Amino acid sequence: MTNNHACILPPLAELQGLLGLSETEAKARIAEACLRQPLQCPRCFGRETFARKNGRCGCRQCGCAFDLVDGRWMSIPSISARSWLILIKCFELGLNVREASRMAGVPRSTAYRAFRNIRLGLAAQDPVWAADPRIGVEALISNPMDGFLNYLRNWTARYRGMSPEEYPLYVKECQVRFEAQGQPLFERLLACVAAAKPIRVV
């Protein structure tokens, strides 16, 4: 067995584990990740919230009722909790959208949206990228870490047809993968999509 195989086998076993989860078990895992983050009303962004008896949440400021995942990057109604965990694992493993959609049992467009939200969530965690992704890219590329540019070139070669608008998101993904140095990313990615989407001033 090569070292390469030794690295990839544990994550594949974890994928098998996620595939065996029930929706109830997956929901509990997702709820746990959401509850580690501050609860925020998705409508008025108020923090004065409370748990309702029906498992939903309520806002004391605007009075609305909402689900735990509302207003977060993982708030895509067509994706079940189980599919989300599988999609996150597929992203961690570097599978493409086609493979991930098959694993998670969702349409390709949905898997694409999930992957995009993971990347948006990663970018949103970085204040520089959140303010202006172009500045983030420029800072990273003009003063790169050793070996990063090669890594970036190799990793992004797999994404054919990437639009210029999307490019900064892929660079951020590469930065996160590069800095992780092969360490597991699943928990970080889960926390990232469980985070609230930032307030956009339109």
| Contacting positions for Zn ion (CB under 5 A) | 41, 43-44, 46, 59, 61-62
Q: DSSP per residue over 27-83, as a string?
A: HHHHHHHHHTS----TTT--S-EEE-TTS-EEETTT--EE-TTTTBTT--TTS-HHH
Amino acid identity at 146 = D
Q: How far is the CB of 125 from Zn ion (least distance, A)?
A: 24
CB nearer Zn ion, residue 28 or residue 62 = 62
Name which of 138, 153, 140 is nearest 179 in CA terms.
140
CB nearer Zn ion, residue 59 or residue 97 = 59
Q: How far is the CB of 50 from Zn ion (least distance, A)?
A: 11
Q: How far is the CB of 93 from Zn ion (least distance, A)?
A: 37
CB nearer Zn ion, residue 43 or residue 113 = 43
Q: Strands (DSSP E) along 26-97, which ranges?
A: 49-51, 57-59, 65-66
Q: How far is the CB of 18 from Zn ion (least distance, A)?
A: 33
Q: How far is the CB of 65 from Zn ion (least distance, A)?
A: 10
* Residue 171 CB-density burial (10 A; 0-12 exposed, 13-18 middle, 19+ buried): buried
Amino acid identity at 172 = K
Distance CA 96, CA 15 (A): 15
CB nearer Zn ion, residue 45 or residue 186 = 45
CB nearer Zn ion, residue 35 or residue 44 = 44
